[in-house]
Amino acid sequence: MPIEVLIKALFIFFVVVGAFAPVITWIERKQSAVMQDRIGANRADVAGITILGLMHPLADVLKLMTKEDVVPRGANRVIHILAPMVGALPALIAYAVIPFGGVYTFGDRTISLIAANPDWGLLYVFAIGSLATYGAVMAGWASNNNWSLIGGLRASAQMISYEVTMGLSVVGIFMVFGTLQLQDMVLAQDATFRVFGFLEVIFGIPIPWLDWLRLPAWGIFYQPLAFILFLTTVMAENKRPPFDMPEGESEIVAGYFLEYSGMRFGLFYMSEFIEIVVIAGLTTTLFLGGWTVPWLTQETIIGWIGAAFGVGFATGLCVLVHFGSFMLKVLLMIWLQMALRWTLPRFRYDQVMDLCWKAILPLSIANIFVTGLVLLLVRG
């Protein structure tokens, strides 16, 4: 129904853009401060109330809105103005196919907590994400600045290169689950598998006494190498440390958005933080079971609670539990990205490209062949 889709879209927009993106700027400051034994942001206040520095994101927005918006002399004004919107829009709409809950039945009504659920959901994320490259290239070229142009060229080379390896790194995942539909991938992970079950399948050795030893059927357990490769490539796509060569303050001043100020700079700045949330949500969906709870399937939760309080109440509570599980995993992945950002030094540009083409690409292709071989052995 259009109204239902609109409500889900507005919910995603306000949660991702209105809540997560501003708070992540605070998380980045505070987490880096903790890692470096500092206090962190704590000066901005309203009536003397600082709330652990949470007023700083609001102060950032007010500052950016009141700063002068300058278009440099000789710049292509139309493209210079459009570039930030082209860079930020893909980050906003990529979340449309990421499920933040399961499929629930209330009487004769079925509700799926996902804005859109196309059969090619994973390809949609990759296709939309690739459009952000145009924003960086347009900003670098239209600014009429050599440093901006170099930043745009770096961004285009890096993002296009890592798009190839990013796609190949998750081929093993949809080989295992047999679908590109993200909601179906999560539903497949709402189960468990026997740790030593492969011995019985491959060698015909029955081990019923170890049947209790099970793990959640999450993508990270099926494809641990793919998880590492995908997280590396998708962080490189976001152009944040240690992959921030397109910005490279110590080399090219500020990169492709050097000539931007005010809210146009704010759009570039905000898009990176929104992409952090998208990366966390997508990684959670593909590798961490999405909204599922380990060892507790949806039927188990509803069955246990429904026996005492009724199926309707149990289903409603299950919705809250699944949404809380999804958000907890997203926060964990945001923390991991921030930890890597403040731990690893920036690579040289040639090292970034070598990592993509000489390390991640061969490993991704090898992972595809190994996954195919294992599937042939297990599934006959």
pLDDT in tens, 80-130: 888 888 888 888 888 888 888 888 888 788 888 888 788 888 889 888 888
Q: How far is CA 309 from CA 313, 315, 316, 338, 370, in A?
A: 6, 10, 11, 41, 47
What's the rounded Cα separation, in Å, for the pair 163 and 361? 11
Residue spans of alpha helices (H) in 94-194? 121-130, 132-142, 146-169, 171-177, 182-189
Residue 272 pLDDT: 83
Q: How far is CA 174 from CA 53, 137, 228, 235, 292, in A?
A: 42, 31, 16, 21, 18
Residue 62 belongs to some domain of the structure? no
Residue 380 pLDDT: 65
Q: How many residues does the chain have?
A: 380
Where would I find the beta strands (DSSP E) of the chain?
A: 103-106, 109-112, 192-194, 214-216
Residue 5 belongs to some domain of the structure? no
Assign 3-state DSSP to the chain and report helix, strand, coil percentages, each to 5. 70, 5, 25
What's the rounded Cα separation, in Å, for the pair 365 and 114? 31
- Total number of domains in the chain: 1
**pLDDT tens, 332-355?**
999 999 888 888 888 888 888 999
The residues, ordered by sequence, that sit 6+ positions from 212 with a Cβ below 8 Å of its Cβ are none
Residue 61 belongs to some domain of the structure? no
What's the rounded Cα separation, in Å, for the pair 269 and 301? 41
Task: Please give the span between the terminal C-alpha atoms of the chain, in angstroms, as a whole number.
Answer: 42
Residue located via tokens 């040289």: 348
Residue 105 pLDDT: 85
Q: Are 257 and 71 in contact (CB under 8 A)?
A: no
What's the rounded Cα separation, in Å, for the pair 365 and 89? 31
What's the rounded Cα separation, in Å, for the pair 15 and 249? 31
Residue 229's domain spans which residues?
Answer: 68-379
Question: 3-class DSSP state for residue 130?
Answer: helix
Question: 3-class DSSP state for residue 273?
Answer: helix
- Tell whether omega for the bond before 118 is within 30 degrees of 0, i.e. cis: no
Q: Are 262 and 229 in contact (CB under 8 A)?
A: no
Q: In the structure encoding, which two tokens stand for residue 68, read together?
A: 């002068």
Residue 23 belongs to some domain of the structure? no
Q: Which parts of the chain register pLDDT below 50?
A: none
Q: Which of 130, 120, 69 is nearest to 97 (CA)?
A: 120
Residue 4 pLDDT: 67
Residue 21 belongs to some domain of the structure? no
Residue spans of alpha helices (H) in 14-142? 21-35, 56-66, 77-93, 121-130, 132-142
Residue 19 belongs to some domain of the structure? no
Residue 130 belongs to some domain of the structure? yes
Q: Are 190 and 216 in contact (CB under 8 A)?
A: no
What's the rounded Cα separation, in Å, for the pair 327 and 20? 11
